[in-house]
Amino acid sequence: MKKVVFLVFILGYSFMVMAQRDAPDLFRSYENNLQFIDNSPETNPFYLEAEGSPYINDKFKPAIIYPDNKPFLVRYNAKDDRIEVQLKEGKFLSLDNQKRDYGVVMKETGTVYQTLYSEGVKMAGYFIEVVNGKNVSVYKKQVKKFVEGKDASENYGVEKPPYFTDPENIFFVQLEPNGKIQELPKRKKSFIKLFKENEGAVKKYLSDHKINLSNESDIKKVITYINTLYS
């Protein structure tokens, strides 16, 4: 499950090779590994008039897709939790991660979208690693929601168009390698209870460092510290 270290190690070399390729070389089709998108946001009548976008980045960006170790142009659909791959102008597919485990490394940011397992059961969609600890690890999902519009009669005479929300990070914690993955509590009391053998130390760290459990950098700090508590 935790192959990110290996991905990062070979990332530099992969991107150097990819940079030497012409754009058409990125439009490769692996039909056995990819499936067509049904009812994509660009044709979905509910989405056509919506403000905003379901994507983290509207434009397709260079990435390496593993395990094939091939360059593609991709974008992440944060509304439907899927990776879309452009094969040529006007044609794009969606990775079928129900049949296969994928790691998608974005060239510009180094962000790695990956498939995860919770106690041996595949989790839906894609996660981004935040902390890869020897004992405790944290991941996040980037989420956007679609909000339907309202007619003037429903909104005191003011029409409200449909829209996509801004992206939100939802964090998940895994308390042991290959263990259960669960949503990270935002309340400090619930968070402390996750670490029964070290509740006192964790409580003191949260207080001393004024940790905000909704802030990614703070989450990194406290989880990195917690991993030092394990012998």
Whole-prediction pTM: 0.79
First to last CA, the chain: 23
CA distances for 98 relative to 82, 87, 115, 119, angstroms: 11, 21, 9, 17
pLDDT digits (tens, 9 = 90+) for 78-108: 999 999 998 877 778 888 888 889 999 999 9
Nearest to 18 by CA among 80, 93, 108, 83: 108
Contact between 143 and 167 (Cβ < 8 Å): yes
Rounded to whole angstroms, how far apart are CA atoms 146 and 122? 25
In the prediction, which pLDDT does 156 show? 61
d(CA 83, CA 130): 19
pLDDT < 70 stretches in the chain: 1-46, 152-157, 231
**φ, ψ dihedrals at 173, nearest 5°:** -120, 145
Closest to 30 in 3D by CA, of 78, 76, 74, 60:
74
Cβ-count burial 109-128 (b if 16+ within 10 Å, e if not): eebbbbbbeeeeeeeebbbb
Instruction: Report how far residue 99's alpha carbon sits from residue 193's, in angstroms, rounded to the nearest whole number.
Output: 36
Distance CA 171, CA 164 (A): 20
- How distant, in Å, are the alpha carbons of 14, 58, 191, 231 from that of 18? 6, 21, 42, 42
